[in-house]
Amino acid sequence: MPTLPELFADLPEPFRDAYDPAAPWALLGEPLDAVLAALPSSAIAIATSPDSHLVGDRIAIGKGTRIAPGVVIEGPVWIGENVSFRPGAYVRAGCWIGDGVTVGANSEIKHSILFPGAAAPHLNYVGDSILGARVNLGAGTVLSNFRHDGGQIDLRLDDGGKLPSGRRKLGAVLGDRVATGCNSVLHPGVVVGRETQIYPGVMLRSGIYPARSLVKLIQNQQVDPRRV
């Protein structure tokens, strides 16, 4: 069994006892389902606007959270305190969103766990993923979660082997303070160690990436004179 990189300094209380460092994505299964199933029908601690839309049952929203016009939030969902939802954000059913998270304009979150302070602030797709504390996604970052053939998602290993995830839908597991550059795309089944930076435009293949690294895209550019 390969050793995964250091990911999280701490875990939110609902997930601490269920965490398996050898398979962090397992939190997206029964542990997340159990947390959401235990929510009351409604526990909304803020005033909501008719310009935003709360759909379904078991929606919990903490104090200080701000929901802009045009936001759609589907239950079941747990949302902490002082979360910011900017115009056009879409949170699909089955999410856990920690304190101080930012879900930005026209960003979509689907069946994911966002640790406190994480940010998906501009035109992001976060599918079946875990974002560690203070992760920041650059504008246009996509965390893809599904293979075209619908098969199980395996993580590629450096020796050519594969680490089975046991899941047909799995995006990325990003450790604390990972940052992605604009228009980067992470293929299904990516684990990135904490404090790693991913440069703009990178297409990151399924696999395991070490902590405190730089992931760069090396391009060869050519500039030629125009022909009239």
Q: Catalogue the long-range contacts made by 37-42 (C-beta closer than 8 Å, 24 or more residues apart).
A: 37/76, 39/75, 39/76, 39/78
Q: In this structure, are residues 19 and 27 in contact, taking their beta carbons and an 8 Å threshold?
A: yes
- Find all residues with CB under 8 Å of 132, minimum gap 6, and list them: 7, 8, 115, 118, 174, 175, 176, 177, 178, 194
Burial of 175 (0-12, 13-18, 19+ CB in 10 A): buried
Out of 53, 111, 122, 187, the active site residue is 122
Place of tokens 């159990």: 34
Is 122 catalytic? The answer is yes
Question: Half-sphere exposure of 60 toward its Cβ, with a 13 Å CA cutoff?
Answer: 18
- Here the tokens at position 112 are 């994911």
Positions marked catalytic: 122
